[in-house]
Amino acid sequence: MKRAAIALVLLVAGCSWGPEGGPGGIGRSDAPVTTSTSEAPAVAATAGPDGVQRISVSMTDDLKFVPDHVEARPGVIEFRLQNVGVTPHDMTLDDRTAGNVNGGETVTFTLTITKPGRYPFPCLYHAESGMRGVLEVNP
């Protein structure tokens, strides 16, 4: 009991930087902001002999698209959506939807996009929770 009290005193005494101070305190709160933006490196869709660009995207129980940043050229883009968890998901892109994808299901979602640009693809069920990705169509 007495030893615990001393340890507590040392702990409090050692913590003299205040609530937001301490070595690395501010730097550490900055670091995640620059590294955890949703702008992960883009994964390029692969064009097949038929010219269709294909990309596999997983939908996870922690409400993420993996990858969540896809790159393609104008033309036909085929998403192979694999729900690797149990939570149902959706993908909506350019006013079209893949429809409900149940846990364990794989759904093919094919779109033709002719205009270069950035096309967000949220999951309608979990967009509020940050389940969204972006398709970058480059000329």
Interface with Cu ion (CB under 5 A): 89, 123, 125-126, 131
Report the distance separating Cα 12 and Cα 102, nearest Å.
51
- Residue nearer to Cu ion on the CB measure, 76 or 89: 89
Q: Shortest Cβ contact with Cu ion: which residue?
A: 123
CA distance 88 to 81: 12
C-alpha to C-alpha distances, 34 to 37, 51, 72, 135, nearest whole angstrom: 6, 36, 25, 21
Q: Give the C-alpha separation, 70 to 54, whole Å.
A: 10
Minimum CB distance to Cu ion, residue 44 (Å): 23
Q: How far is the CB of 84 from Cu ion (least distance, A)?
A: 12
**Residue nearer to Cu ion on the CB measure, 44 or 125:** 125
Work out how close the CB of 92 gets to Cu ion at its nearest, in angstroms, rounded to a whole number.
10
CB of 85 to Cu ion, least distance (A): 9
* Residue 125: φ, ψ to 5°: -75, -35
Which residue's CB is nearer to Cu ion, number 74 or number 85? 85
Shorter beta-carbon distance to Cu ion: residue 111 or 133? 133
For residues 124 and 97, the answer to whether their CB atoms sit within 8 Å is yes
